[in-house]
Amino acid sequence: MSNIKDPTVLRLEDLRKSYNVGLPTELEVLHGLNMTLRAHDFCALVGPSGSGKSTLLNLIGLLDQPTSGELYLLDQATRELDDEGRTQIRRESIGFVFQFHHLIEAFTAIENVLMPLMVRGGKPTEEQTAWAMHLLEAVGLKGFERKKPSQLSGGQQQRVAIARALATRPALLLADEPTGNLDTQTAAHIFELLRHFNREFGCAVLIVTHDPRLSETCDRTVTLVDGQFTGDVRHEQAGK
Ligand SMILES: Nc1ncnc2c1ncn2[C@@H]1O[C@H](COP(=O)(O)OP(=O)(O)OP(=O)(O)O)[C@@H](O)[C@H]1O
């Protein structure tokens, strides 16, 4: 059930995914998942290699479709939506951060951040530019707005990617190994930033990570093994 202060952002209901791999029967890799994520959740998704984490993230990000079950984003059922409907929800409500940030090299940092706001073309408005500047400042990159990605360190590039993911003020931020190629200190800093936005904007965060130290800094850890949830633990954080 949703409540006003901490609304439900995501709900999975008996979600299943099968792949056709040329066998007589399809290969089911997600076996009827149920889960709720609320606006203030800062949640790690962990599990062994091949357990289905990326498959699940792709379904939640509306990049792929479940075989059965239902996936609600902000109380909207998504399974019956057509491509256009899914794309619209994805653009308006979901931000993505990946291990490899896919910044556009021809664009400056601020142009990369503005990109999700510009998908329908046109010049950015003053308000959009001010918001992009604010986000870059919030991730500690004031003064770097005009730099190209290749002029930035790996950690700085990932911070641009986080600012870009937040540009549309998404209700849900999905991060797939966002710190996988960063050193421990930079990784911890990126996690702090994600948490900051989770608290400041009530943007639900779901992070796939293999790093147990990082998952323990999340408020909640959900474990996926062989396509089934085997754990859902809340951690008490010092200073919360
Ligand atoms: N397109 C596909 N076609 C067939 N099988 C697939 C496809 N994508 C994934 N799988 C299978 O689904 C299972 C789950 O894969 P998935 O990539 O979701 O796991 P993961 O937990 O993200 O792994 P890792 O931590 O190694 O990234 C694996 O057995 C994989 O081989």
Whether residue 240 is predicted with pLDDT greater than 80 in this model: the reply is: no
SS3 35: strand
Q: Where are the beta strands (DSSP E) in the chain?
A: 8-19, 27-38, 42-46, 68-73, 76-77, 94-98, 172-176, 204-208, 220-225, 228-234
Q: Does 90 sit in the ligand 1 pocket, CB within 6 Å?
A: no
1 part of a folded domain? no
The domain that holds 183 is classified in CATH as 3.40.50.300
Q: What is the DSSP letter of 139?
A: T
Q: Does 51 sit in the ligand 1 pocket, CB within 6 Å?
A: yes
Number of structural domains the chain divides into? 1
Are 63 and 79 in contact, with CB atoms under 8 Å apart?
A: no
Confidence band for 179, pLDDT divided at 50, 70 and 90: confident
Full-model pTM = 0.90
Closest C-alpha among 119, 124, 195, 183 to residue 156: 183
Atom of ligand 1 nearest to the CA of 210: 25
- Mutating to test ligand 1, I would choose from 55, 57, 58, 229 the residue with most ligand atoms within 8 A of its C-beta, which is 55
pLDDT of residue 66: 96
- Mutating to test ligand 1, I would choose from 29, 60, 177, 209 the residue with most ligand atoms within 8 A of its C-beta, which is 29
160 part of a folded domain? yes
DSSP secondary structure letters along 49-94: TTSSHHHHHHHHTTSS--SEEEEEETTEE-TT--HHHHHHHHHHHE
pLDDT of residue 239: 47
127 part of a folded domain? yes
Mean pLDDT of 121-129: 86
Q: State the residue range of the domain holding 64.
A: 8-234
2 part of a folded domain? no
Confidence band for 20, pLDDT divided at 50, 70 and 90: confident
